[in-house]
Amino acid sequence: MKKVAVIGVGETRFGEHWYKSFRDLAVEAGIKSMEDANLERKDIGALFVGNMSAGKFIGQEHVASLVADHLGFSGIPCIRTESACASGSLAFRQALLSLQSGAYDAVMVEGVEKMTDIIGSQASLALMGAGDQEWEASVGLTFPGLYALIARRHMHEYGTTPEQLAMFSVNNHKNAVKNPDAQFRFEISVEDVLNSPLIADPLHLLDCSPITDGAASVLLATEDFIKKKKIKNPIWVLGSGQSSDTVALQDRKSLTAMFVTIDAAKKAYKQSGLKPKDIKIAEVHDCFSINGLMAIEDLGFCKKGEGGKFIEDGNISLGSTVSINTSGGLKAKGHPVGATGISQIIEIVKQLRGECEKRQVDAKYGLTHNIGGSGASCLVHIFGKEK
């Protein structure tokens, strides 16, 4: 199997971009990644675009061709992938497989979403498209409601507390202060979280990720291409795992464990030859604080049911047992759903390159974890400084 590395990264600032369009964001991120790798358009063999719901958010479909057009890539294959909030990571995996197959030498992978051009209720409707329309949406469930059910069950089975959930959000905001691309660059306290409006009991407003605009782009290349172009400081893809589960919560064997995370992580760890103890930095999918807490359990950083105590004891802060969401995570960096998976990868790449300044941690390997919907899909990727 061909060895593949990330050789260029670029992203926009995450937030509300009133004066930038979907295509503006995509082009900005793409150009930044090209400049970072010092490549030209002729070097790129294909374009992969992760996007969840441009049709509902901005009325635009055919987005892969649109992005290729405005990046000046007309003539090369362009592919759009969709897996709800894991759309970006799915695009990355498809690009990785295309390089490993020998189809291309170098490709661009973009994730992009423009979510703030519609009102909040319409955005919620679009996002609930990642749930089960017949069995969940039709009876009034939203994603905060789905994750509230999960949180309540975790609390019932393991004694997890609202304070421990809040500590996950607190950690994200503390890291986001040090990230110039983050949407919310301010610290919060546990009291702030618990005093914020209750969205779906027990989840408060500050347990929830925001509506966000943004784009992220990475360039992937084979080992031969990297040698030919004499590219410095590539970050190698060591493992890639993908899994799926039922869309509706009612059909799951458990509400307190994400099978998709466990399974995707198992595949990625096996491929990389690494174990959870080898990972010192991870970007995990915290669309809600309970999902971040469960992720550190299901990825093997602590035992099932001990996530709350693990967080409370300071094991996820910068430079601790495993530095979680040094970017600020979905909660504080922002969650433009199609771009999130690629942005997670960018953070790990920059950390392994040693480019994160005040939020820099010492790590040889890094991991990304990207969930689609309430756990119907998941991708886990592992990266290293050496192949």
For the chain, counts of helices (H) and of strands (E): 13, 12
CA 65 to chain centre: 23
Instruction: Kindly name the residue from 78, 85, 302, 356 that is annotated as catalytic.
Output: 85
381 carries an active-site annotation = no
Handedness of CA 299, 336, 172, 358 (dihedral sign): positive
Helix (H) or strand (E) run with residue 347 in it? helix 337-353
As given in the structure block, the two tokens for residue 194 are 């618990």
Q: Are 236 and 222 in contact (CB under 8 A)?
A: no
Q: Which stretches does DSSP call E strand in the chain? A: 4-11, 46-50, 78-81, 106-113, 198-200, 203-204, 214-222, 235-244, 281-283, 323-324, 365-372, 377-384
Q: CA angle at residue 167 from 280 to 252, to 5 degrees? A: 80
378 carries an active-site annotation = no
As given in the structure block, the two tokens for residue 359 are 């939020």
What gap in Å lies between CA 190 and CA 168, rounded to an integer?
9
As given in the structure block, the two tokens for residue 302 are 């602590």
Instruction: Kindly name the residue from 154, 204, 285, 335 that is annotated as catalytic.
Output: 335
Helix (H) or strand (E) run with residue 349 in it? helix 337-353
In sequence order, what are the beta bridge partners of 11?
216
CA distances from 5 to 89, 165, 212, 234 (A): 15, 35, 28, 6
Active site residues: 85, 335
